Amino acid sequence: MIRWTEAGRERSAEWRSALGVPPPQRVVVADDRMRAATAYRLACEGTALLWRGDFHNARQLLSAMGRRCKPAAPGSGFHRHRQARSQRARTLGMLLIPYDAGHVVPLRRAPDVRQACAEVYGPQAPPGVGQLRELLGLIGAHEWREKGVYVPALGARVHPHHGVFSPIRGEYVDLVAEAPLPADRLAFDIGTGTGVLAAVLARRGVRHVVATDLEQRAVDCAEDNVARLRLGGTVEIVRADLFPPGRAPLVVCNPPWLPATPISPLDQAVYDSGGRMLGGFLNGLAEHLEPEGEGWLILSDLAEHLGLRRRDELLGAFERAGLRVAGRRDVAPRHRRPKDAADPLHAARAAEVTSLWRLTPRAR
């Protein structure tokens, strides 16, 4: 619950946060008279603002607060960049909006957000209070879910759900679409997310693909995409921590690329705290591969350029897991960030390469 004082009365409501953010402890009521400088100062001090004015004015205030948040300077390094992003998220998360029952926002000029909220919070919800920043994210996620992301390797669109990483970086998908298949009978896709790699394997002719994910939101998303692509007879979605039971001639995994702590569910597709998923995949791969089978590890070397992991550490992890490198395919990123000199991580992004490592068990 979140509690505040309004018009001399103690008030409370259910706190809404799809990302598990705790409710703020200090809340004041704000409206269209609130100046951006004052709002920013209060937010930085840990005081949340419960908005009672015009919805569009709240969006403009959030933008003005965002312009006051200082980004990390170019070349300042990964940890400064993460610190600046975290501070920005905390500050902007202090602008709150009310909800009436049924996901209705009772503010002037508020959009109809019922469907976007129902997709994340569930169809039924009592009155509550949540972050405006999160609501805008839900609206954007709903639009992405409706529109989808075109994947050239599939010749079709994939529809990401809220909190599931969108396959907007096509180079890793192309690696899986182009590498020679060791077999076409069975494949495992570990950490499937939207299900895009499982779908690519099925479209390439793999007759049965078992795709796993630990997060229920990803399982639901992958099932939705498999149904949209009419691959339900080929791709099986299983909720599991890494591997399904049994062995396969091909096991594919695109784990989070950076060994750092995620700060939101969406971050879990990028940040792998302590290298848990990478280590779990490597250490369990040999026992889930059939004889002569291959494990495909799709991994960016951005962590190496950021000083978060060394190449010899990765190669050592292969060796300790009883694996050898049978081959590697590399591709440079095609997105715009490597060309943005103002990006705090520009030097690392400009040098980044994404690789598909073909791993096989070492001969005993």
Question: What is the token pair recorded at 2?
Answer: 């979140």
| Angle (CA) 349 174 269, round 5° | 55
Residue with tokens 């399982």: 219
Question: Closest Cα partner for 289 from 180, 207, 187?
Answer: 187
pLDDT of amino acid 78: 81
pLDDT of amino acid 235: 98
State pLDDT tens for residues 236-275: 999 999 999 999 999 999 998 888 776 665 566 678 888 8
pTM: 0.86
pLDDT of amino acid 339: 65
Q: Is 25 helix (H, G, I), strand (E, B) or coil?
A: coil
Q: Is 31 helix (H, G, I), strand (E, B) or coil?
A: coil
Name the burial class of residue 1, with classes exposed (0-12), middle (13-18) and buried (19+) by CB atoms within 10 angstroms of its CB: exposed
DSSP 136-205: HHHHHHHHHHHH-EEETTTTEEE-PPTTS-----HHHHHHHHHSPPS-SS-EEEES-TTSHHHHHHHHTT
pLDDT of amino acid 48: 97
State pLDDT tens for residues 45-71: 999 999 999 999 999 999 999 999 988
pLDDT of amino acid 81: 81
Q: Which residues of the chain have a pLDDT value below 70?
A: 75-76, 262-269, 335-340, 343, 364
